[in-house]
A = this chain, B = another copy of it.
Amino acid sequence: MSVAERKLREKELVRKKIIDAALQLVKSEGWEALSIRKIADAIEYSAPVIYDHFANKEAILFEISQDGFKLLLSNIHKAISKKASPKEELKAFVETYWKFALKNRSYFKLMFGVGMPCCGEGKMKTEFGALQDIIYEIIKKIIIEKKTNIESACYKTHAFWSAIHGFTSIMIARSADVPQTMNVSVLDQMVVNIIENL
Protein backbone atom coordinates (compact mmCIF):
# COMPACT_ATOMS: atom_id res chain seq x y z
CA MET A 1 0.00 0.00 0.00
CA SER A 2 2.97 2.31 0.41
CA VAL A 3 3.23 2.75 -3.33
CA ALA A 4 -0.25 4.23 -3.54
CA GLU A 5 0.55 6.44 -0.59
CA ARG A 6 3.71 7.73 -2.15
CA LYS A 7 1.84 8.44 -5.37
CA LEU A 8 -0.78 10.36 -3.50
CA ARG A 9 1.89 12.30 -1.72
CA GLU A 10 3.59 13.09 -5.01
CA LYS A 11 0.35 14.18 -6.57
CA GLU A 12 -0.36 16.43 -3.61
CA LEU A 13 3.08 17.89 -4.02
CA VAL A 14 2.48 18.82 -7.64
CA ARG A 15 -0.83 20.34 -6.64
CA LYS A 16 0.91 22.46 -4.06
CA LYS A 17 3.52 23.45 -6.63
CA ILE A 18 0.74 24.67 -8.92
CA ILE A 19 -0.85 26.80 -6.23
CA ASP A 20 2.52 28.18 -5.15
CA ALA A 21 3.52 29.08 -8.68
CA ALA A 22 0.12 30.60 -9.39
CA LEU A 23 0.24 32.70 -6.23
CA GLN A 24 3.73 33.86 -7.10
CA LEU A 25 2.56 34.90 -10.56
CA VAL A 26 -0.56 36.61 -9.21
CA LYS A 27 1.56 38.54 -6.73
CA SER A 28 4.09 39.67 -9.28
CA GLU A 29 1.94 40.24 -12.36
CA GLY A 30 -1.63 40.47 -11.08
CA TRP A 31 -4.40 37.90 -11.39
CA GLU A 32 -5.35 39.13 -14.86
CA ALA A 33 -1.97 38.11 -16.26
CA LEU A 34 -2.12 34.60 -14.81
CA SER A 35 -2.10 31.92 -17.47
CA ILE A 36 -2.10 28.14 -17.36
CA ARG A 37 0.96 27.99 -19.58
CA LYS A 38 2.89 30.33 -17.30
CA ILE A 39 2.10 28.10 -14.35
CA ALA A 40 3.11 25.05 -16.36
CA ASP A 41 6.37 26.73 -17.25
CA ALA A 42 7.07 27.60 -13.65
CA ILE A 43 6.50 24.07 -12.34
CA GLU A 44 8.29 22.51 -15.32
CA TYR A 45 5.36 20.44 -16.52
CA SER A 46 3.25 20.69 -19.64
CA ALA A 47 0.02 22.65 -19.45
CA PRO A 48 -2.49 19.75 -19.53
CA VAL A 49 -1.01 18.30 -16.34
CA ILE A 50 -2.62 21.14 -14.44
CA TYR A 51 -6.02 19.80 -15.43
CA ASP A 52 -5.26 16.58 -13.56
CA HIS A 53 -5.34 18.67 -10.39
CA PHE A 54 -7.81 21.45 -11.12
CA ALA A 55 -10.99 21.53 -13.17
CA ASN A 56 -10.06 24.86 -14.69
CA LYS A 57 -8.24 28.12 -14.19
CA GLU A 58 -11.02 29.54 -12.05
CA ALA A 59 -10.63 26.69 -9.59
CA ILE A 60 -7.01 27.68 -9.06
CA LEU A 61 -7.92 31.31 -8.38
CA PHE A 62 -10.68 30.11 -6.09
CA GLU A 63 -8.29 27.99 -4.06
CA ILE A 64 -5.87 30.90 -3.78
CA SER A 65 -8.61 33.14 -2.49
CA GLN A 66 -9.56 30.45 0.02
CA ASP A 67 -5.97 30.38 1.21
CA GLY A 68 -6.21 34.13 1.54
CA PHE A 69 -9.18 33.79 3.85
CA LYS A 70 -7.35 31.21 5.92
CA LEU A 71 -4.39 33.54 6.26
CA LEU A 72 -6.54 36.53 7.17
CA LEU A 73 -8.56 34.56 9.70
CA SER A 74 -5.42 33.15 11.26
CA ASN A 75 -3.90 36.64 11.50
CA ILE A 76 -7.04 37.96 13.12
CA HIS A 77 -7.27 35.12 15.62
CA LYS A 78 -3.66 35.62 16.58
CA ALA A 79 -4.11 39.37 17.02
CA ILE A 80 -7.29 39.03 19.01
CA SER A 81 -6.08 36.33 21.37
CA LYS A 82 -3.54 38.71 22.90
CA LYS A 83 -6.08 41.34 23.83
CA ALA A 84 -7.75 41.63 27.21
CA SER A 85 -10.92 43.61 26.47
CA PRO A 86 -13.44 43.27 23.64
CA LYS A 87 -12.81 46.87 22.66
CA GLU A 88 -9.14 46.07 22.22
CA GLU A 89 -10.15 43.00 20.26
CA LEU A 90 -12.22 45.08 17.88
CA LYS A 91 -9.35 47.48 17.37
CA ALA A 92 -7.01 44.58 16.74
CA PHE A 93 -9.46 43.13 14.25
CA VAL A 94 -9.52 46.33 12.22
CA GLU A 95 -5.79 46.81 12.37
CA THR A 96 -5.19 43.26 11.18
CA TYR A 97 -7.78 43.57 8.42
CA TRP A 98 -6.23 46.78 7.18
CA LYS A 99 -2.66 45.51 7.34
CA PHE A 100 -3.64 42.34 5.54
CA ALA A 101 -5.25 44.32 2.71
CA LEU A 102 -2.19 46.54 2.36
CA LYS A 103 0.37 43.75 2.50
CA ASN A 104 -1.56 41.22 0.44
CA ARG A 105 -3.34 43.20 -2.22
CA SER A 106 -3.36 40.19 -4.55
CA TYR A 107 -5.17 38.10 -1.98
CA PHE A 108 -7.52 40.92 -1.07
CA LYS A 109 -8.56 41.59 -4.65
CA LEU A 110 -9.24 37.94 -5.26
CA MET A 111 -11.14 37.53 -2.00
CA PHE A 112 -13.33 40.59 -2.11
CA GLY A 113 -13.19 41.72 -5.71
CA VAL A 114 -16.64 42.73 -6.87
CA GLY A 115 -17.32 40.58 -9.89
CA MET A 116 -14.16 38.52 -9.83
CA PRO A 117 -13.90 35.50 -12.11
CA CYS A 118 -13.68 33.40 -8.99
CA CYS A 119 -15.34 34.01 -5.64
CA GLY A 120 -18.75 35.18 -6.85
CA GLU A 121 -22.35 34.31 -6.07
CA GLY A 122 -22.45 32.44 -2.83
CA LYS A 123 -19.13 30.66 -3.14
CA MET A 124 -17.62 32.38 -0.14
CA LYS A 125 -20.45 31.67 2.23
CA THR A 126 -18.40 30.03 4.97
CA GLU A 127 -15.44 32.39 4.73
CA PHE A 128 -17.55 35.53 4.86
CA GLY A 129 -19.55 33.92 7.63
CA ALA A 130 -16.46 33.19 9.69
CA LEU A 131 -15.34 36.81 9.54
CA GLN A 132 -18.81 38.04 10.37
CA ASP A 133 -19.04 35.65 13.32
CA ILE A 134 -15.86 37.01 14.83
CA ILE A 135 -17.16 40.57 14.65
CA TYR A 136 -20.52 39.50 16.01
CA GLU A 137 -19.02 37.81 19.05
CA ILE A 138 -16.87 40.81 19.93
CA ILE A 139 -19.69 43.29 19.45
CA LYS A 140 -21.98 41.14 21.56
CA LYS A 141 -19.46 41.24 24.38
CA ILE A 142 -19.19 45.01 24.17
CA ILE A 143 -22.95 45.43 24.12
CA ILE A 144 -23.32 43.22 27.19
CA GLU A 145 -20.63 45.26 28.91
CA LYS A 146 -22.40 48.47 27.98
CA LYS A 147 -25.82 47.03 28.76
CA THR A 148 -27.33 48.48 25.56
CA ASN A 149 -29.84 46.62 23.42
CA ILE A 150 -28.51 43.13 22.62
CA GLU A 151 -30.90 42.66 19.73
CA SER A 152 -29.06 45.33 17.79
CA ALA A 153 -25.93 43.19 17.70
CA CYS A 154 -26.76 41.68 14.31
CA TYR A 155 -27.41 45.02 12.68
CA LYS A 156 -24.37 46.56 14.28
CA THR A 157 -22.22 43.74 13.00
CA HIS A 158 -23.35 44.52 9.49
CA ALA A 159 -22.76 48.22 9.95
CA PHE A 160 -19.30 47.75 11.40
CA TRP A 161 -18.27 45.23 8.78
CA SER A 162 -19.58 47.52 6.03
CA ALA A 163 -17.64 50.51 7.27
CA ILE A 164 -14.35 48.68 7.68
CA HIS A 165 -14.64 46.82 4.43
CA GLY A 166 -15.83 49.87 2.53
CA PHE A 167 -12.96 51.97 3.74
CA THR A 168 -10.40 49.29 2.94
CA SER A 169 -11.87 48.59 -0.49
CA ILE A 170 -11.87 52.23 -1.50
CA MET A 171 -8.30 52.66 -0.36
CA ILE A 172 -7.08 49.54 -2.14
CA ALA A 173 -9.00 50.36 -5.31
CA ARG A 174 -7.59 53.85 -5.67
CA SER A 175 -4.31 53.59 -3.84
CA ALA A 176 -2.60 56.08 -6.12
CA ASP A 177 -4.64 59.18 -5.44
CA VAL A 178 -5.32 59.06 -1.74
CA PRO A 179 -3.08 60.86 0.72
CA GLN A 180 -1.42 58.06 2.64
CA THR A 181 -1.07 60.05 5.82
CA MET A 182 -4.72 60.38 6.72
CA ASN A 183 -5.65 56.76 6.05
CA VAL A 184 -4.76 55.18 9.34
CA SER A 185 -5.99 58.04 11.45
CA VAL A 186 -9.37 58.04 9.69
CA LEU A 187 -9.65 54.32 10.24
CA ASP A 188 -8.69 54.65 13.91
CA GLN A 189 -11.17 57.43 14.42
CA MET A 190 -13.86 55.37 12.73
CA VAL A 191 -13.35 52.45 15.09
CA VAL A 192 -13.30 54.65 18.17
CA ASN A 193 -16.48 56.33 17.00
CA ILE A 194 -18.24 53.07 16.29
CA ILE A 195 -17.30 51.63 19.66
CA GLU A 196 -18.56 54.76 21.40
CA ASN A 197 -21.92 54.42 19.73
CA LEU A 198 -22.41 50.70 20.13
Residues of A near any B CB (own CB < 8 A)? 30-32, 105, 108-109, 112-117, 119-122, 124-125, 128, 155, 158-159, 161-167, 169-170, 172-177, 186, 189-190, 193, 197
Contacts and interface: CB of A to CB of B under 8 A. Distances in A.
B122 A159 contact: no
A169 B169 contact: yes
B175 A121 contact: yes
Contact of A158 (B112, B165, B186): B186
Assembly stoichiometry (copies): 2
A158 to B, nearest CB: 5
Nearest to A171: B162
Given A114-B113, A170-B162, A121 B176 contact: yes
B155 A162 contact: no
A160 to B, nearest CB: 9
B109 A114 contact: yes
A43 B26 CA distance: 35
B169 A167 contact: no
Given A31-B115, A159-B167, A165-B170, 12 more contacts: A108-B114, A114-B169, A115-B173, A120-B174, A122-B174, A125-B177, A128-B174, A155-B189, A162-B163, A166-B166, A166-B167, A169-B169
Nearest to A31: B115
A159 B186 contact: yes
B177 A167 contact: no
A122 B176 contact: yes
- Interface pairs A-B: 9 shortest CB-CB: A166-B166, A122-B176, A109-B115, A162-B167, A162-B166, A122-B177, A163-B163, A165-B166, A121-B176
Contacts of A166: 161-167, 169
